Structure 1
Amino acid sequence: MMSVKNRWKEAAVLAVNRCKEKGAGKKVDAMARQAALLLMMGYDGFTSPEVCLHYLFASENVDSLVFGAAVSELDGGEVVTLMKYLTKWIGKYQRFPEAQACPEAVGMPGLELCDIVPSFRVVAGALGLVFDQHFSHLALNAELKEDLKAAEMMVKQLATEAESAGPILDLLRRLSLTVLPLTSSCCCSSSNGVKLRGNGTARPPNLITEQCQ
């Protein structure tokens, strides 16, 4: 796994160095900047196992039904790990909204990994699916309260910048309903001591260290 992450570091450094090349032309320079941004986003802040997940979420060959079934089978710890991974991507796209696919760089030696950066749409959709499949676990887990609030804040900022973006608003709705059970004081205790809301049922609702100068 370390070798995989090292590949991303080497590719990011290569892209940054190309940004510094003189006389490359405006088009090449813009492409190098975009490639450097994407590669540093995919490298910085991710653990080696998380970098390996990039290949899954950037793949066009993943069947949505199979993926949904796989997510539903995750245990509590795995769900939390996946949620935090996807939330990191949400944070990166919130910090660098200019980041976008760079197909021109994919064909250049050393920059092929630009094609392995999950898109915002994929990340938002996957995070929404995690909330759908494991709503009760996430909503009632007090240890995740701060993580969920942070994710909600990032998505709110993105929604403010792009109110017409369906995936963003849909994800925001899920986050708002997920955080609510953790913050609401209107809850009651069941006979076995478990805190429940309303009728006692949980109803599921329908992310770089430096930039080229």
Structure 2
Amino acid sequence: MLTLAEAARFPGTQVGAEIRRLAAHPDRVPAAMLVPAAFEETFYRTANLPEQLARLLAPVNPARLDEDLLERLAAQAQALIRTSSLLDDGVQVFYRALGNAGLSAGEVHARRPGGRGVEAARVTPPGTAALHAVKRLWAHDWTFEALLSRLDDTGSIALEARPTLLLAGPPGVPDAGLAAELGTETALVNPLGLVGLP
């Protein structure tokens, strides 16, 4: 788990270009942390999700796509992500990082750097609600729309793990004035400050 300043030291290809943009404004961004892609990858691997998802989605034929079938299987895939468990060691690392980042109590939201899909939670220590919000966000990758998009783009349902951003407060809303001030197309703010430059 990384602070924004720590994450900004990594290449944008690893952490997302938005992280560098946010890290450039430390006085405006509320409490935040980046969950690296490796954490999601470990979750998938230890829960044996690649094999389970491959078996579940095996009936999908990209050459002759049955959208009704894909929609049913997508719902099952999302449920599989949400109900699979992280190993206890990973959970404890996540909880400690939440505490260190000041995110173990109050409202938080999770999203992918550069993305707009959000999952929010009201957190109490140790941070179970935040962990559930992260898993719900990961499940977005298995919606009908996400699967269809991957099939259209690559002809495959395969997925690469990506970083996840956790920020204090509710999801941000666009602020045109701040976007103009910062010279960006979009700036997302919540009552605690700047929470997005996607």
TM-score past 0.5 threshold: no
Question: Which one has a larger percent strand, Structure 1 or Structure 2?
Answer: 2
**Structure (1 or 2) with the larger CA radius of gyration:** 1
Shorter-chain TM band: under 0.3
Question: Which one has a larger percent helix, Structure 1 or Structure 2?
Answer: 1
Under a length normalisation based on structure 2, what TM-score does the superposition of the two structures give? 0.27
